[in-house]
């Protein structure tokens, strides 16, 4: 906390120092020229980053990759070296179980490393899951350094691109209080902003209003955009918004939420300061919901 306001950390998974180098990944000859002994390979244990002795991401060489693995071109490092990640053949067709270790690792990584890992994780995960054409069912193959897959059926040749799913995440205000909710999977006493996927045929503002209505039974107005965050679990774009409700009567959808309630400014401050007298646990700093609470407290 600085002065009378809270300071927010950098938005997690943003701010990568790697140049995605579209001109390189779209040119097979340029890409092949960079696939050499100088290139770096991001070390992954499945989808979990391997941590180096200095606490950052661990990098190897292309010689460390499984010969059967596909290589995804992440881009160019500031020193000009090409950076890659490998799609472990063991990931193909598998369902990765929840990994508590991953959340611990993420809290240790520096923002720049977390951004690099987030992009790599989303890409590798997508390639492992997108082996067949959604149009005709034939196999697909990696193109453009891993930023595209193309159907191998000569009669189809459909192009597929890494998926990004837009998700609205929002706080709601009424008479100086903030609405927060908790899902069944949350740790005890943890509350966060409500969230939901943007559906076909609706704007972000409409998605915010619909989700709040569905989950908490509230009608809102004055929806405003606050910030966004890439969220590679598996491949979402979190769109953080804030809205205002004229009525504070909550009707909880128990299929979505365990609870939802209004919190005063003092209660939110206590939670953000992690005080012993806090009435709830606030979202962690790497979540965009944390930034929403910081934004609201600083208004």
List helix spans (H) across 167-264. Answer: 204-216
Q: Which residue has the tokens 């995440």?
A: 169
With H, G, I as helix, E, B as strand and everything else as coil, classify residue 74.
strand
Output the CA–CA distances (angstroms, integers) from residue 277 to 119, 269, 270, 289, in the order listed.
Answer: 38, 11, 7, 21
pLDDT value of position 299: 87
Given a contact cutoff of 8 angstroms between Cβ atoms, the answer to whether 279 and 250 are in contact is: no
Residue 109 burial (C-beta neighbours within 10 Å; 0-12, 13-18, 19+): buried
Given a contact cutoff of 8 angstroms between Cβ atoms, the answer to whether 159 and 120 are in contact is: no
Residue 82 burial (C-beta neighbours within 10 Å; 0-12, 13-18, 19+): buried
> Looking at the chain, which runs of residues are DSSP E strands?
40-42, 44-45, 48-49, 59-60, 70-76, 82-87, 140-143, 148-151, 159-160, 165-174, 177-182, 194-197, 220-231, 236-245, 259-263
- pLDDT over threshold 70, residue 2: no
What is this structure's pTM?
A: 0.92
Question: Within 13 Å of residue 176, how many CA atoms lie on the same side as its CB?
Answer: 4
SS (H, E, C) 197-217: ECCCCCCHHHHHHHHHHHHHC
Give 161 or 1, the one with higher predicted confidence: 161
Given a contact cutoff of 8 angstroms between Cβ atoms, the answer to whether 89 and 69 are in contact is: yes
CATH T-level fold of 165-297: Nucleoside Triphosphate Pyrophosphohydrolase (3.90.79)
Mean of the pLDDT values across residues 3-20? 84
- Write out pLDDT tens, residues 158-215: 999 999 999 999 999 999 999 999 999 999 999 999 999 999 999 999 999 999 999 9
Banded pLDDT at 98 (limits 50, 70, 90): low
- Write out pLDDT tens, residues 239-291: 999 999 999 999 999 999 999 999 999 999 999 999 999 999 999 998 999 99
Q: Which has the minimum average pLDDT: 1-5, 47-51, 137-141, 142-146?
A: 1-5
180 DSSP β-pair partners: 261
Q: In this structure, what token pair is assigned to residue 112?
A: 């720049």
Q: How do the domains of the chain map onto residue ranges?
A: 22-129, 165-297
Q: Would you state the torsion angle of the CA atoms of residues 130, 136, 139, 143, taken in this order, to the nearest 10 degrees?
A: -70
> What share of the chain has pLDDT > 90, as a percent?
89
Banded pLDDT at 7 (limits 50, 70, 90): confident
- Write out pLDDT tens, residues 63-94: 999 999 999 999 999 999 999 999 999 998 77
Residue 238 burial (C-beta neighbours within 10 Å; 0-12, 13-18, 19+): buried
pLDDT value of position 97: 67
- Write out pLDDT tens, residues 130-156: 999 999 999 999 999 999 999 999 999
Mean of the pLDDT values across residues 37-49? 95
Question: Within 13 Å of residue 206, how many CA atoms lie on the same side as its CB?
Answer: 6
* Sign for the pseudo-dihedral over CA of 256, 261, 265, 270: negative
pLDDT value of position 27: 95
Average pLDDT, the chain: 94
């Amino acid at each position: 906390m600085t002065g009378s306001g809270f300071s927010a950390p950098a938005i997690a998974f943003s701010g990568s120092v790697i140049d995605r180098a579209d001109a390189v990944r779209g040119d097979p000859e340029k890409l092949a020229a960079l696939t050499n002994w100088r290139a770096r390979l991001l070390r992954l244990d499945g989808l979990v980053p391997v941590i180096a002795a200095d606490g950052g991401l661990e990098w190897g060489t292309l010689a460390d990759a499984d010969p059967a693995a596909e290589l995804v071109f992440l881009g160019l490092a500031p020193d000009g070296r090409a950076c890659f990640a490998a799609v472990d053949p063991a990931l193909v067709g598998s369902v990765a179980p929840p990994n508590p270790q991953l959340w611990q690792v993420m809290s240790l990584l520096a923002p720049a490393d977390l951004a690099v890992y987030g992009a790599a994780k989303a890409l590798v995960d997508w390639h492992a899951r997108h082996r067949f054409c959604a149009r005709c069912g034939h196999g697909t193959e990696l193109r453009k350094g891993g930023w595209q897959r193309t159907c191998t059926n000569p009669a189809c040749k459909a192009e597929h691109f890494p998926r990004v799913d837009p998700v609205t995440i929002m706080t709601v205000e009424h008479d100086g209080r903030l609405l927060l909710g908790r899902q069944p999977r949350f740790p005890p006493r943890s509350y966060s902003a409500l969230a939901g996927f943007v559906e076909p045929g609706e704007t972000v503002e409409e998605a915010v209003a619909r989700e709040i209505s569905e989950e908490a039974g509230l009608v809102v107005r004055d929806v405003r955009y606050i910030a966004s965050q890439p969220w590679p679990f598996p491949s979402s774009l979190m769109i953080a918004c804030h809205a205002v409700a004229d009525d504070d009567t909550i009707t909880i959808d128990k299929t979505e939420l365990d609870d939802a309630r209004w919190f005063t400014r003092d209660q939110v401050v206590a939670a953000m300061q992690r005080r012993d007298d806090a009435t709830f646990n606030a979202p962690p700093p790497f979540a965009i919901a944390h930034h929403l609470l910081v934004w609201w407290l600083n208004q």
